[in-house]
Structure 1
Amino acid sequence: MARSISPIAAALLLLVALAAVPRGEAALTCGNVVTFLSSCIPYARGTTAAPSAACCSGVRGLNQAAKTTPDRQTACNCIKSTVASLSGIKPAVVSGVPAKCGVSVPYPISASVDCSKSVSSFTH
């Protein structure tokens, strides 16, 4: 049985393709965040037993890219909104992805985190 991508995930991937820009001095965008983490969707839905190597690579890349407070806030808000908008995503699984990938994220990955406050007090 072939797996199909949901219409929402397809729309997000299209948005990423249209919004992706080279990473110069520009701030991190939600499109960048989705690009880094799109390969984590199967694991976040519980369809794979562990995050893929591509997922973990994306988590590491995002963690390295989100160096400033505004970038961390963008990543936090984007993750929250994406998790809420995709069907079948398991928030408890999402919150554990960094640890499963061996990445230390300096703020909680949770639907209840206040991205405007929680991530601003942490530094890389």
Structure 2
Amino acid sequence: MASMTMRVLCVIAACMVVVAPYAEALSCSEVTSKLAPCFNYLKSGGKVPPACCDGVKGLNSAAKTTPDRKTACTCMKSAYKSYNGINADNAAGLPGKCGVNIPYKISLSTDCNKVK
């Protein structure tokens, strides 16, 4: 009985190791949801809402790997194109206003394939 339990636990542990990297991957829906509180600021400027900075900081924390940063970049560019009226200066300055340093500029001209 103990041998069978040990085998089951080993299989479960192996599955967790294999699946964990994929479960942690950043998705566009996560990027969009974290940035949703920022859309009014991105259009109109003014004071950055605390919920927006919380989202920016959370997104920065979630994008730990190069593939995640590339995904975040691509998703932000897609959202940027989808929502009319986003001010380019507001978008580019948002990370700094939230006290976050990201390794690329938030801009439609950013080449997300070069993000590291």
Range into which the TM-score falls when normalised by the shorter chain: 0.7 to 0.9
- Structure 2 partner of 1:101: 98
Cα distance, 1:76 vs structure 2: 0.2
**Equivalence for 1:34:** 32
Match of 1:64 among 54, 61, 78: 61
Q: Which residue of 2 aligns with 1:80?
A: 77
Percent sequence identity over aligned pairs: 49
Structure 1 or 2, whichever has the larger Rg, is: 2
What is the total number of aligned residue pairs between the two structures? 95
Distance 2:91 2:47 in 1: 11
**Alignment correspondent of 1:44:** 42
Mapped pair 1:53 → 2:50: yes
Aligned amino acid, residue 36 of structure 2: S
Q: CA deviation at 1:50?
A: 1.6
Contact preservation (8 Å) 1:83, 1:91: no
Structure 2 runs not aligned, ≥5 long: 1-21
Where in structure 1 are there 5+ consecutive unaligned residues? 1-23
What per-residue deviation string (whole Å, max 9, x for no partner) do you get for residues 25-68 of structure 1? Answer: 3310000000110000000011x512100000000000000001
More helix by share: 2
CA distance in 2, matches of 1:72, 1:49: 27
Q: What TM-score results when the alignment is normalised by the length of structure 1?
A: 0.73
Runs of 4+ in structure 1 off by over 3 angstroms are none
Give, in angstroms, the shift of residue 98 of structure 1. Answer: 0.5
Contact 1:98 1:105 in 2 (8 A): yes
1:89 counterpart = 2:86:
yes
Mapping 1:5-16, distance limit 5 Å:
none
